[in-house]
Chain A
Amino acid sequence: MTPRDEGPADNTSPRPLVEFESVGRTFDSDPPVHALVDVDLRIHRAEHVAVTGPSGSGKSTLLGLLGLLDRPTSGEYRFGGVATTRLAERDRAALRAGSFGFVFQAFHLLPYRTIEENVMLAEVYRPKGGTAPPRRTRRARAEEALERVGLGHRRGFRPDRLSGGERQRVAIARALLGDPALLLCDEPTGNLDGENTAVVLDLLDELHGQGLTLLVITHDEAVASRAVRRIRIADGRVLAEAGV
C-alpha cells in the first residue's frame, strides 16, 4: 500500500479540492500496463504540489486523470467533492472548461493565431448554463491576462516570434483566463533554457502567492524544489512525500 496522504496539517478547509481514493489506471494492452496502482492523494486549495519521478513512472497518466482527460479504471476521483469517475463525458468537459488550467511542455499554442487569440481560445468552450463573460470584452480580458504574465508588450505577435519562455507564459496566460480552481502543469520548463525556466518558475510562484492551486509534474529537481509539497512516484505508485 502507498502511504496515506493526510495533507498539510495547517490546512483547515473542510474538504480537499482533489481526492484520489485507490485510483488505478490500467491500459488494455498485451500484457496490460498498470500505469497507476492504488493511488491515494489529497490536494487542498492554494497548495503548490510537485510530482516527480522518472519517465514512465506514471506522472503523465496522473496528470491526465487529474485533469479529467482520462478516466481511472479503478477507484474514485472526487474533485471539489464531486465524484467524477462515472460522470458523463460532456459533464467532464464542462468541469474541465470551468475548473482547470493546463500548461504543457509543448506549449500547444496555435501557430497561426496571435498570442491574444491563443489566450482567448480559453473562453471559446464554456460550460452550458453558466454565466459566461461577454464575448466582446474577451480580447480585453486576454490582454489583461497577458499583462499579468508580463507579455503586454508582445500584443499582436505570433507564437513563432517569441522565445520559449515567452511562449510558456502565453500558455499560462491562457490557463489563467478561465480563472481555474487548479492549474495543472506538465513539465512546464521541459523545453526551456535555465534563464527562461527561472522566469516561468517565478511566475508560477507569484501565482501561487495570489492563491492559485498549483500542481506541477516534473523530473527536474530544481523545479520540484519550488513546490511546498513534493510527491514522488515510481512504477505507478506514490513512493514518498516531502512536505514543508
Chain B
Amino acid sequence: MTPEGRTLRLPRRGGTRIGRADLLDESLAAVLARPWRAALTTLGTVLGIATLVVTIGIAATAGNRIVGRFDQLTATAVTVVAAGTGAPQAPGEGPLIGWDAAERLARLNGTVAAVALAEAAPGTAPSVRANDIKDPSTVSARTLGVVAATVDLPAAAHGRVVAGRFFDVGNVARHDRVAVLGEEAARMLGIVRLEDSPAVFLGDEAFTVIGIVGDFRREQALAAAVIVPPTTAADRLGLTEVGRVVVDTELGAAGLVAAQAPTALNPGRTTEMRVIAPPDLQRARGAVEDDVNGMFLVLGLLCLVVGAVGIANVTLVGVMQRIGEIGLRRALGASRRHIAQQFLVESAVLGLIGGAIGAAVGVVTVVGVCVARDWTPVLDLTLVVAAPGAGVLVGLLAGAYPAWRAARLEPLEALRAT
C-alpha cells in the first residue's frame, strides 16, 4: 500500500461505541475465565437469596398451616344449641327446633351441610347390648350415648362411613329400626362385620346395625354413640326434642350463617337458642404472619448485604489484578464509561448467577422441609421469579464502587502497571 493510498480516519464526533453483544461477551468471558472464583464470589449471594426465599417460603407455609388448621376445623363450624330445653312446653306450641332444621339451614348462603341432633339426657340413656343373652359372668351391657340424628350427619360432622352405609331418608320415613354405630361404640360392642346384619339392643328394643361411622373431626363424642333415625328414636326411645344443630359452612361464611341460623330455625323464638360460632381469626392470622415475615426478612436482607460485600470485594480485587487489561482496553478505544459498564455487567452477571442458584436452593429447601414435616409448601411465584432480579440488583450495587475505581484509572498509568 502506498503512503498516498492510505486514507486517514478523522475523528468522528461522539466517541466510540461497544455493541451490546460485545459488552456481554467481554463480561461473560471475564467471569467464566475464573469459574471457581466466580462460584465462590456468588456464594454470599446464593446464601442471601436462598435465606430470603427459604424464610419467606417457610413463613408463608407455616402461616398457611396455622390458618389451615383453624379453617378446616373451627372456622367452618357453627353450632346452634337449644337453650330452652327443660322448660315445660306450652300446649299447642311446636318444638323449638324441628327435625327439618337441616332443610331450613340448607337454604342459607354458605351452608355446606347441617345435622340436627337429639341426645338422650345423661342417666336416661338406655343400656346398649349386642345380644339378648343375659350372661352374669360378663358385662355385656354398656352405657353408650344414644343420638338421634338426621341423614346429613357424616357430612356435617366430617365423619367417614367406614363400613356399611348411613341411614337415608327412606329409613327415616319408614321409621325403620336401624342404627349406625360410631367406630368406638362398634369396637366396644364387638361388632366388626355387617354382612350378617348384627343387632344391638337399646334397652329392650332391637335395632339392625347398617353402618359404622368413624374419623369424626367434629362432635368426636359421636364415635362412642349409637345413632338412630329421629323418627324411630321418637317412637321407641322417647327422643323427640332436637338438642342442637351442627352446621358445616363454607370458608368465611360462618359468621353469616351464625347470624341467620336462629331466624331460619324458628323466627319467633330466636332468643331461646345459643349460637356457637368460630371467633374471627382474620386478625390473629395477619399478626402472626407479619411478625414472622418481618423477622425473617431482616435476616435474609442481612445475608444479602453479606453477599453484596463479597461481590464488591472480589470485583475490586479483580479490578486491581486487571489494571493492564483496563489500560489496553482504553488504548483500543474504550471510554471510561465502557470500562465501568464492563465491570458492572460482570458483577451483575455474578449477582444473577447467585440469585438464580439461591432461588433454586431456597425452593428445594422449602419443599424439603415441607416433605419432612408433612406440610403443604406455599411458594410465592413472584418471589421465585424476583430472586434472580434481586441478585442482579445486589451485583450492580456491589459493582458500583469497583467499576468507578476501574473507570477512574489513567490509561497510560494502567498500561505501565504490570
Contact = CB atoms under 8 A, between A and B. Distances in A.
Whether chain B is bound by chain A comes out as yes
Interface of A: 13, 17, 44-46, 60, 64, 67, 69-70, 80, 82, 84, 87-100, 102, 104, 106, 108, 110-113, 117, 121-122, 124-130, 135, 178, 181, 210-213
Query: Top 6 closest A-B pairs, CB basis?
Result: A97-B333, A90-B15, A112-B33, A125-B333, A46-B3, A211-B1
Interface in B1-41: 1-6, 8-19, 21-22, 26, 29-30, 33-34
Interface string B327-347: 111111111101000000000
Interface stretch (B239-247, B266-274, B362-370, B410-418): B410-418
Contact of B332 (A112, A124, A130): A124
A69 B330 contact: yes
A127 B29 CA distance: 23
Interface of B: 1-6, 8-19, 21-22, 26, 29-30, 33-34, 324-325, 327-336, 338, 410-412, 415-416, 418
Given A94-B16, A106-B418, A64 B324 contact: no
Contacts of A89: 15, 335-336
Given A46-B2, A60-B416, 19 more contacts: A13-B3, A46-B3, A70-B412, A89-B336, A96-B330, A97-B16, A102-B328, A102-B331, A102-B332, A108-B328, A112-B30, A112-B34, A124-B22, A126-B18, A127-B15, A128-B17, A135-B21, A181-B6, A211-B1
Nearest to B322: A110
Contacts of A128: 12-17
Contacts of B334: 93, 124-125
B371 to A, nearest CB: 42
A127 B166 CA distance: 87
B16 A93 contact: yes
A90 B18 CA distance: 13
A104 B17 contact: no
A99 to B, nearest CB: 6
A108 B415 contact: yes
A224 B1 CA distance: 24
A149 to B, nearest CB: 17
Nearest to B416: A60
